[in-house]
Amino acid sequence: MVKRLVFVIVISFGFITAGFSQFAVSYKNAKYNYGINLPKNMEIKQYPSDDSPDTVVVSNRDGSELIIAAGKDPTYKGVNASQLITGTFMPSLKFQYKHVELLENDYTDLGGEPAMYMKLSYKTDEEEGFLSQLIIIRNEKLIILRVKANKENYDKFFSELTGYIFTFQFTESSAKEFYRNDMYSFVINFPGGWPFDRNSFPVQANSPKGSSLYIEAIKSNEYADMSAYELDPDMLLEAMNAKMSNISLISKKKMNLDGNPVLYVKYRWVQSATGKGDVFNIMHFYLIKRGVLYVLQGMVRESQKDEENTIMQSVETFQFIK
């Protein structure tokens, strides 16, 4: 329901954007590489400073606010917003707004990125109101766009701000699928239309449907004389279980990639914490070369199984350039 509502809002605001562009100012955040149009008639402040802003607050005269908060957290390594749960964000919201109740939750997309949507009611000593937020994760960067207003002003303020919110875009280059990493001397073609940051490593490409392809490299002396065929799938499963519960091994096989031995392991993860029993298939391709363990991870919601082939085709383009 929420996805449909958001889609209708985007369409209805799309044809008036040009007419109202004279009322917008283009804001660019170089620290977190994103851009968004903001209302000219509202006050814009950056914290902790204009030179290094983590938070942008857009304030209306009646006290309503659009807050854009950004931060980098390795906890979100290999994760995109389609894999988030609301419970992660409730403690901080309750601390900030005291009495908070979740009213709506769904998943959508923003600027071509998977996004989690939340709408809540809040009650502080000063006022009662509503807040809604869209949450995006890209390359360990967490971005929250939050609309907050009291009960009397929320509907009007939300409708005014929606057209601006959906101008949000990451400004990192994502037009081409080709990715080259000179530090680890490899190249890969990511799936077409899956945005990624070519200046970042580990690197992650995200599907608009919520799937992802993530690549990391781990250098260790223990891999110096090893082949990926020597890795123990049971130990790998044990390591996965330490990070997430309700995960099981579906299949495993030995294969080759660019002439190198690769251990392929497929897992099934039931994300029961969402309350919906969301199921993901996780595909791991383990490759060892020159003492470095390369892990290519594909993550696909079970309802989007068709994207497994897309990930496999992308992985098959992986090759070393030295």
Could you identify the residue written with the tokens 């400004």? 171
Instruction: Verify cis geometry, omega within 30 degrees of 0, for the bond prior to 48.
Output: yes
Q: How far apart are CA 50 and CA 40, in angstroms?
A: 17
pLDDT of residue 175: 46
**pLDDT value, residue 65:** 96
Beta bridge partner(s), residue 149: 130
pLDDT at 61: 94
What pLDDT does residue 112 have? 74
Joined together, the tokens standing for residue 220 give 């260790």
- Is the previous residue joined to 261 through a cis bond, with omega within 30 degrees of 0? no
92: nearest Cα among 65, 67, 59 = 67
pLDDT the model gives residue 265: 94
C-alpha distances (whole Å) from 207 to each of 2, 43, 212, 308 are: 20, 35, 6, 11
pLDDT of residue 10: 31
Domains 2-170 and 178-320 share a fold: yes
Question: What is the domain partition of the chain in residue ranges?
Answer: 2-170, 178-320
| pLDDT for the residue 154 | 96
* Topology annotation, domain 2-170: Protein Transport Mog1p; Chain A (3.40.1000)
Query: Mind listing the pLDDT tens digit of every residue in the chain (322 residues)?
Result: 333 333 333 322 332 333 334 467 888 888 888 889 899 899 999 999 988 899 999 999 999 999 999 999 888 888 888 889 999 999 999 998 889 999 999 988 887 788 999 999 999 888 999 999 999 998 889 999 999 999 999 999 998 898 889 888 887 654 457 888 889 989 898 998 888 888 889 999 988 888 999 999 999 988 888 999 999 988 888 888 777 778 889 999 999 887 899 999 999 988 765 445 678 899 999 999 999 999 999 999 888 888 999 999 899 989 888 7
- What pLDDT does residue 11 have? 27
pTM over 0.75, yes/no: no
Which pLDDT does position 172 carry in this prediction?
Answer: 66
pLDDT of the residue at 23: 66
pLDDT at 298: 94
Rounded CA separation 177/321 (Å) = 17
99/166 Cα distance (integer angstroms): 29
Residue for token pair 């209302």 = 39
Query: Which residue is it, tokens 């857009």?
Result: 58
For domain 178-320, is the CATH number 3.40.1000.10?
Answer: yes
Q: How far is CA 62 from CA 43, 153, 156, 157, 191, in A?
A: 12, 8, 11, 10, 45
Measure the CA–CA gap between 236 and 294, rounded to whole angstroms: 14
Tell me the HSE value of 101 on the side-chain side, using a 13 A CA sphere.
5
- 202: preceding bond cis by omega (within 30 degrees): yes
pLDDT score recorded for residue 7: 30
